[in-house]
Amino acid sequence: MTGERVFMFVDEEELFSAMKDLDCLYCRIPVTASKHHLRKKHLRFAVYYKDSGIGVEMTDKSSVELRPTAVLLESLRTDREDETKPGNKAACQKCGILFTTTSNLRRHERLQHGHDQQPILCIDAKNAIYVTPKYLHGPRVPIHIRKSFTSQVLLCELEECWDFMKAQAQSGNPGKECRHLVRTNHARHYVPPPPLCVNSLDEMGHKQLLSASEKLQCREMSSRACIRGVDCVYPIFWGERELSERCVFFSVYTDLEDKWCQFGRTRVSFDTESGGWRCLCKRKRSRCVHKCLSAWWLFQERPELLQNAPDVHAESADALEEAVMDAEDVV
């Protein structure tokens, strides 16, 4: 074996012999591929099956046949077919299995590893601000939270989380955290994004993507964020799966504290297919400096994502965008 990952073996002994005297190829950190390790960390999640004329029959180690649902059968067929297709795939961070869609990956994580696997990023180390998905399912719409033991701050943007923690405090559990705050225990450390450059803003002006007044507003807001020692625009890409999501989200500095920007930041979303933009500020359906700032960052760092949006301010009644909007109105 030369270091290439293989996911199908005739029996356990073939796996043991192939991995003998090697580090485990299915783990992200170096660990010896002993029989104990392979059984405990990987074989316990293995799928035992045999091919037949009518499809796949699932069996466990005692050879008791289990008949999977149509959804599971289709997922197995799709995964096996995808192994031969070129292109980028998302890998499970626990066991290394590759998936072509984030929905298949999330389903695998829930079923095989038993927890939500929701990412969380620190976007402002100075003020202890994080972003994490609002819901367990559907589009990964981010929300802001603050958690600092030094400043004794435990805050979440959602009112339902306020009510939950308030009820817990009244019940004698004043330190009980909502599900979003709990995730900070495995948050990714703050990594500064590429800074906004005036040259790219001027180029947008030359191409008539921004007006003179919009350019001025962007420069002023960027300067105020710099004075405060925070990032004006922080793009929210969820780790290795960053470009597999249709909507790109940004946390944008506002220099305000209001219901829509409780921690001095708002959320902007961009639909890479329709070119539609949305911001939580009071100018939701029109141009605002927060959308312009996000477009500035995209134009500078990821111009290929703007190919479907000749007008960076295009507002589209796109199905996914409407779904995101509906999700925001639930709480």
Distance CA 237, CA 232 (A): 16
Residues 208 and 131 in one domain: no
Q: Are 120 and 186 in contact (CB under 8 A)?
A: yes
191 belongs to a structural domain: no
Residues 318 and 233 in one domain: yes
Question: Of 158, 186, 214, which closes a domain?
Answer: 186
With a cut of 70, list the residues of the chain below it in pLDDT: 1-5, 10, 28, 47-88, 109-117, 239-244, 308-331
Distance CA 15, CA 74 (A): 26
270 belongs to a structural domain: yes
153 exposed, middle or buried (CB, 10 Å; 0-12, 13-18, 19+)? Answer: middle
Residue 4: domain span: 1-46
Q: In which residue are the tokens 């297919």 written?
A: 273
Reported as type and span, the H/E element at residue 59 is strand 55-59
Residues 160 and 129 in one domain: yes
Residues 318 and 242 in one domain: yes
Q: Which residues pair with 261 in a beta bridge?
A: 258
Residues 249 and 297 in one domain: yes
For residue 164, give Cα distances in angstroms to 107, 167, 170. Answer: 27, 5, 10
167 belongs to a structural domain: yes
Token pair belonging to 193: 């994004």
Predicted confidence (pLDDT) per residue in 108-128, tens digit: 766 665 555 688 999 999 999
59 belongs to a structural domain: no
Predicted confidence (pLDDT) per residue in 135-158, tens digit: 887 778 999 999 988 888 889 999
Distance CA 262, CA 258 (A): 5
114 belongs to a structural domain: no
Question: Of 133, 165, 186, which closes a domain?
Answer: 186
71 belongs to a structural domain: no
Question: Of 136, 154, 186, which closes a domain?
Answer: 186
Residues 175 and 217 in one domain: no
Token pair belonging to 129: 């601000």
Residues 218 and 321 in one domain: yes
How many domains is the chain partitioned into structurally? 3
Residues 248 and 317 in one domain: yes
Look at residue 48 in the predicted model and tell me its pLDDT.
62
Nearest Cα neighbor of 321 from 268, 243, 261 is: 268
Helices (H), 242-318: 289-301
